[in-house]
A = this chain, B = another copy of it.
Amino acid sequence: MAGAGDIGSGPFEVPPPAFLFDLDGTLIDSVYQHVTAWQEALDACGITLSVWRIHRRIGMSGGLFLNALQRETAQDLDAATLARLTALHREGYLRRVESVAPLPGARELLASLADLGVPFAVATSGGEAVAGAGLALLGLGPEVPIVTRDQVRRAKPDPDLFLAAAKSLGVVPARSFVVGDSVWDLLAAQRAGSLGIGLLSGGYGLEELQAAGAYRVYDDPADLMAHLEEVGVRPPS
């Protein structure tokens, strides 16, 4: 049995962290295109919902979003309407996707993590078609694991996406930082046992992200990159 004087090797060999990134609002500037695509889809189905309420749900799975919507509008939507909403949103987003750009510093941050040998993956509540259009902007190589909505049972705020992303990197969630712009990312991070890093670039307020459990909050990927040493990433010595 180890005595008090035997500090062992365990806790003093902390491995460098891994990073599990959300996509929309975190690496690419696509939240407002999603918001307006949802509003257009809802309008087309005769459903009125204030835009800020849609914004506050972005980053949830489409299914949970539509559940919340039914609760807020006190409407029961049939399966055909739900399927139509999902299809209209996808179509509306893809129509707007050419106005989507990487967020400042996103490409540089990922390149810098790769250079430093820090493992990272992307985990998004979007389906494959929507995610693919955004991921193309980041120029990621095939070595970066991407987990999309289709690959897990439950999307955010359930932790499945981030758990799958950690697994694909071969790291434990407790060693990983989840980086996201929405309260749903940060709640999912807590459920996954990871520390959460909030970014303001999705349009949420600082205090909302802190209240959802963010360990640190930065403006956007460029600001995170300027403060990497705060989250355990050190330049090569």
What separation, in Å, do the CA atoms of A29 and B35 have in the docked complex? Answer: 13
Given A36-B32, A39-B99, A43-B99, are A203 and B51 neighbors across the interface (CB < 8 Å)? yes
Check if A204 sits within 8 Å of B205, measured CB to CB: yes
What chain B residues lie within 8 Å of A43 (beta carbons)? Answer: 99
CB distance from A130 to the nearest CB of B (A): 17
Q: Which residue of B lies closest to A204 (CB)?
A: B205
**Interface residue? A201 (CB, 8 A):** yes
**Interface residue? A48 (CB, 8 A):** yes
Check if A50 sits within 8 Å of B99, measured CB to CB: no
Q: Mark A207-228, 1 if CB is under 8 A from B, else 0.
A: 1100100000000100000000
A interface list, Cβ under 8 A from B: 25, 29, 31-32, 35-36, 39-40, 43, 48, 50-52, 55, 99, 101, 103-104, 200-208, 211, 220
